[in-house]
């Protein structure tokens, strides 16, 4: 799991692996604090298949923390991941689930200004590359150009 804050957006990238409880517990308090103060207002998650474990999801589900109630866009190719996210959406209606070719729709779900889309797409690509190098997970180099299918930098959104 790798993340960074870009303005008020928490950009979180999962590899093919689920985050360990150690990672989850280490990184969660900072996100919660930023959400409490309004420094973070939404979360953009890109996953190559990994995501929170059942116990980690349950903690989010029962939490009253505003951090877990902010708008969230999850972008993944994984059918299993999209299925899990769809189930979570029953408890979190402001959660959107998208495939990588719907990246622009994910940005729009979060009400992010079009002027931020290119930079956010670049940050996702950079975090995926960093995570792949750090973890040695063998994330497939699907986006070697730094671009995502269905997303063309600077073009208006298709509705």
Q: No. of H helices and E strands in the chain?
A: 5, 5
Give the integer Cα–Cα distance in Å for 64 and 56. 14
| 70 within a domain of the structure (yes/no) | yes
Q: What is the pLDDT of residues 21-77, one digit of tens each?
A: 888 777 777 777 888 888 888 999 999 888 888 888 777 766 666 666 789 999 999
Q: What are the residue ranges of helices labelled H in the chain? A: 21-37, 54-62, 79-89, 103-109, 114-135
Predicted TM-score of the model (pTM): 0.79
Q: What is the pLDDT of residues 112-145, one digit of tens each?
A: 999 999 999 999 999 988 887 766 544 443 333 3
**CATH (domain of 111):** 3.30.750.24
| 51 within a domain of the structure (yes/no) | yes
Q: What is the pLDDT of residues 64-114, one digit of tens each?
A: 666 667 899 999 998 888 887 887 777 778 899 999 999 999 999 999 999
């Amino acid at each position: 799991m790798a993340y960074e804050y870009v303005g008020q957006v928490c950009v979180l990238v999962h590899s093919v692996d689920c985050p360990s409880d150690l990672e989850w517990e280490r990184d969660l308090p900072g996100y919660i604090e930023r959400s409490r103060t309004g420094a973070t207002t939404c979360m953009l998650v890109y996953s190559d298949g990994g995501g929170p474990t059942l116990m980690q999801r349950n903690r989010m589900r029962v939490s009253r923390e505003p951090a877990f109630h902010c708008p969230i866009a999850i972008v993944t190719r994984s059918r299993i991941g999209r299925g899990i996210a769809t189930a979570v959406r029953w408890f979190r209606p402001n959660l959107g689930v998208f495939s990588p070719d719907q990246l622009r729709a994910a940005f729009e779900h979060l009400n992010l200004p079009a002027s931020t889309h290119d930079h956010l797409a670049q940050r996702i690509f950079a975090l995926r590359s960093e995570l792949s190098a750090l973890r040695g997970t063998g994330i497939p180099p699907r986006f070697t150009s730094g671009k995502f299918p269905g997303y063309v930098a600077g073009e208006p959104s298709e509705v």
